[in-house]
Amino acid sequence: MTQADRDTPVVKIGDEADINQALHLARNVRIERLGEVLVRQGVLTREALEQALEALKHLPATHLGDLLVEQKIISPEQLEEALCAQLGIPRINLGAFTPPPDVAALIPYQMALRLNVLPLARRNSVLVVACAKPTDQELLSILRFYSGLGIEPVLAARQQITTAINRAYQVESGGEDTEGYLRPEAPPPGTRNRESKTRPAARRWSRWSTPS
């Protein structure tokens, strides 16, 4: 099996069929040890891996990836990409893809921007979401809780996600809501400052707070 066969392919997303293809291809990737993935990807030498494994014998509560990042041998982004390859999580190129409005509405703009995530497609009771850290279990739990759906994460570059978020919610790069889609209801006179401090963010963006 060649390196290309073992790597999770990067699929450029143009429509939902491409999303399904990315998910299908990722499921056929053979699971490997994290250290072997890092060596194969060229971000870690065999010698450095052996030294790290030796150090782990004295650090039983530490994971290999965390140790390598802590020692600045690899970057957090390189670790995330390797973990995705190890776990068979798809890697995608968002390109000019824009999710359908009803799918985008499942995660409100402010939450998508803050968490750097973008809902791509709904497959029955599962929401496919692009994120820069798809192995972050806390992030996935938040998305499951808020959407009420199972979450199928895919890996995309952080800047691609930010650009796609603004495009999906029709917001200019400067942050202005050009179409009024995200505009909250105006509060009564004299209450704007008080409400902005006390009213939950998800309720302020009421048009995006309830899954359709």
pLDDT digits (tens, 9 = 90+) for 163-205: 999 999 986 544 444 344 444 433 434 444 443 444 333 333 3
Rg of the chain on CA atoms, in Å = 20
What's residue 182's pLDDT?
Answer: 42
Residue 126 parent element (H or E): strand 126-131
Tens digit of pLDDT for each residue in 19-40? 888 887 777 666 788 899 899 8
Q: Which of 135, 89, 143 is nearest to 119 (CA)?
A: 143
Indicate whether 64 belongs to any domain. Answer: yes
Mean pLDDT of the chain: 78
Q: Do the beta carbons of residue 177 and residue 171 sit within 8 Å?
A: yes
Average pLDDT over residues 46-53: 94
Pairwise pLDDT comparison (149 vs 23), residue with the higher score: 149
Domain that residue 164 falls in: 92-178+191-208
Same domain, 29 and 65: yes
CB count within 10 Å of CB 11 equals 20
CATH number of domain containing 200: 3.30.300.160
What's residue 195's pLDDT?
Answer: 39
The whole-model pTM stands at 0.67
pLDDT at 86 > cutoff 50: yes
Indicate whether 186 belongs to any domain. Answer: no
What's residue 9's pLDDT?
Answer: 63
CA 12-17-19 angle, to 5 degrees, is 50
Total domain count, the chain: 2
Same domain, 50 and 7: yes
Same domain, 154 and 65: no
Pairwise pLDDT comparison (182 vs 55), residue with the higher score: 55
What's residue 95's pLDDT?
Answer: 86
Q: How many CA atoms lie within 13 A of 56 on its CB side?
A: 16
What's residue 208's pLDDT?
Answer: 34
Q: Do the beta carbons of residue 38 and residue 77 sit within 8 Å?
A: no
What's residue 211's pLDDT?
Answer: 39
Domain-ending residue, one of 64, 90, 116: 90
